[in-house]
Amino acid sequence: MGTGAGLFLIALGAVLAFAINETTVAGISLPVVGWIFMIVGVIGLVMDLVLFAPRRRRATAVPPRDRVDYY
């Protein structure tokens, strides 16, 4: 899960949790589903930033060494 997916789940969960008042769809409470989406989004965002971001930062461009050829 990337940063974008984590933020999307947090936003979707906030809409479901706070904008919809105690609505049930076939026995499922949408505010509870919203809270679950927000928790999963936060966990995914933290995992992406803590676990996967250091690997992305390690790849740096190394300038080529100056080479002098003597003939």
Span 5-36, pLDDT tens digits: 999 999 999 998 888 877 778 888 888 889 99
Banded model confidence at residue 71, pLDDT cuts 50, 70, 90: low
Domains in the chain: how many in total? 1
The type of residue at 67 is: R
Banded model confidence at residue 56, pLDDT cuts 50, 70, 90: low
Domain that holds residue 47: 3-55
Cα 15 from chain centroid (whole Å): 17
Nearest to 1 by CA among 37, 38, 44, 42: 44
Banded model confidence at residue 62, pLDDT cuts 50, 70, 90: low
- Contacts of 1 by beta carbon, 8 Å cutoff, 6+ apart: 44, 47, 48
Q: What is the mean pLDDT of the chain?
A: 80
- Contacts of 23 by beta carbon, 8 Å cutoff, 6+ apart: 29, 30, 31
* 65 domain residue, yes or no: no
DSSP letter for 29, please.
E
Please report the pLDDT score of residue 53 as a whole number: 66
* 70 domain residue, yes or no: no
* 71 domain residue, yes or no: no
